[in-house]
Amino acid sequence: MRKIIPVMLILCLFLVSCTASPGEQTTEQGKGAVGFSGGNIGEGGLMCGDNEGNVYYRSEADHWCLYKAKLDGNQKQKLSDDAPCDINVLDGWVYYANYRDGFSIYRIKTDGTGRRQLKSGYCGDLYVVGDHIYYDVRDEVNTSHIHRMDVDGSNDKLLVSEADLKYYYDGCLYYTNGRLFLCKYTLETGTSVQLNDKYSHYVTVDQSGVFCWYPNENPFVHMNYEGGDSKVILSGGGDYFNVCDNYVYYMKYGGNYDYYRLSLETGEKVQLSSFTAGLFDEKGNIIANPDAVSEDDHVFHEGGVGSFVIGGYAFVRGTLRESLLQNGRLDCLIRLDGPGNMRLWD
């Protein structure tokens, strides 16, 4: 039996997104400036933008190290050998969980200086807001708890026990409890309320309400801040949902598993990717007859995982035959400029 290597490479365990200005990373949410946008953190936070046209990202070309580049992929600059996820950028600092140090939390200046560990432990789901970092951390029995600390690592405090942080919006933390149901914790009052009774994922909150995906039933839904008025936005098979500036970005099941953008205002759907159908071998040669492949051969196909929205552009992590032919590696970051116009970005 032949070995088909899936292109949907698994992201690190903590596996897009915008504010009022598409992709602008540092903005006001009513309760202070934030270092994230939309659902990028929910996708693993492997890419993050700022207000100056820069992208901070985990490089596929250089062993997952932390890099900085322009939106077009030029002016690449290595900032650290750390392997980041949950990247936030705010006030000249980059915040992230470092895979190479057991997902401990670090920060480094945007010029690559001042690197320092802020919190040791298995941390994730970072949301930097004003002078605070909201995050979850696992204990000795692998149970997550939500904490808050100052941006310099001081004044660490437990906020919600046995919870996984999913989003911050306007003074509230959205999280899943032990049953993976979506809940909301209001920071001002210290009170929680459960919003639904379904396993919830890809949570994004904006001025219109709450968006999330129900993996068991597969719809992507919208609700108000209290969990009411639930409405199905997309159904029929999809993944990697991200909401940005009245658009939903997602991968559609079936066919070549391409990415699409749905306008929440008009309902128009636009295809963003055009992955090549069929299989190819480890040298990039097209396999005309897959049935003739031996069980010892490795075969591949194109595709992507995750979705990150920065500066109005959609990015995915994936595999392209072009990357294998040009750079001798499959893994890459791809900018989706539309069908037939996918850009090998890193």
Which pLDDT tens digit goes with each residue over 257-298?
A: 999 999 999 999 999 999 999 999 999 999 989 888 888 888
Element containing residue 323 per DSSP (H, E): helix 321-327
Confidence tier at 11 by pLDDT (50, 70, 90)? very low
Check residue 30 and give its pLDDT: 65
Q: How many residues does the chain have?
A: 346
Check residue 21 and give its pLDDT: 34
Check residue 3 and give its pLDDT: 41
Give me the amino acid identity at 329: R
Q: Among 56-60, 120-124, 147-151, 297-301, whose mean pLDDT is lowest?
A: 297-301
Q: Among 20-29, 78-87, 159-168, whose mean pLDDT is lowest?
A: 20-29
Give the tokens for residue 79: 């900032």
Q: Is residue 322 part of a domain?
A: no
* Whole-number Å distance between alpha carbons of 55 and 16: 14
- Confidence check: pLDDT of 236 > 90: no
* Whole-number Å distance between alpha carbons of 197 and 51: 38
Q: Is residue 294 part of a domain?
A: no
**For residue 144, what are the β-bridge partners?**
138
Closest CA to 142 of 178, 106, 117, 182: 178
Higher-scoring residue by pLDDT: 27, 14:
27
Q: Is residue 305 part of a domain?
A: no
How far CA 215 is from CA of 17, 204, 245, 343, in Å, comes to: 19, 15, 24, 30
Interval 7-25 mean pLDDT: 35
Confidence tier at 32 by pLDDT (50, 70, 90)? confident
Interval 296-318 mean pLDDT: 93
- Confidence check: pLDDT of 329 > 60: yes
Percent of the residues in the chain that have a pLDDT greater than 70, as a whole number: 92
How far CA 190 is from CA of 42, 120, 248, in Å, comes to: 24, 25, 31
Q: Is residue 311 part of a domain?
A: no
Interval 319-326 mean pLDDT: 95
Give the domain range for residue 265. Answer: 13-278
260: domain CATH number is 2.120.10.30
Interval 196-202 mean pLDDT: 97
Q: Is residue 336 part of a domain?
A: no
Element containing residue 322 per DSSP (H, E): helix 321-327
Q: Which residues contact residue 25 at a Cβ distance below 8 angstroms, ignoring those fewer than 6 apart?
A: 19, 35, 36, 37, 48, 49, 50, 51, 88, 89, 90, 310
Q: Which residues contact residue 8 at a Cβ distance below 8 angstroms, ignoring those fewer than 6 apart?
A: 257, 303, 304, 305, 318
- Confidence check: pLDDT of 338 > 90: no
Q: Among 37-46, 53-62, 277-286, 287-296, whose mean pLDDT is lowest?
A: 287-296
Q: Which residues contact residue 344 at a Cβ distance below 8 angstroms, ignoring those fewer than 6 apart?
A: 320, 322, 323, 326, 332, 334
Residues 44-64, buried b or exposed e (16+ Cβ, 10 A)? bbbbbbbeeebbbbbbbbeeb
**Residue 55 region, left (φ>0) first, then alpha (ψ -120 to 50), else beta?**
beta
Percent of the residues in the chain that have a pLDDT greater than 90, as a whole number: 83
Q: How many structural domains comprise the chain?
A: 1
- Confidence check: pLDDT of 137 > 80: yes
Q: What is the rounded average pLDDT for all residues in the chain?
A: 91
Confidence tier at 27 by pLDDT (50, 70, 90)? low
Check residue 254 and give its pLDDT: 93
Using DSSP's 3-state secondary structure scheme, residue 324 falls into helix
Q: Is residue 287 part of a domain?
A: no
Q: Is residue 263 part of a domain?
A: yes
Check residue 96 and give its pLDDT: 98
Q: Is residue 303 part of a domain?
A: no
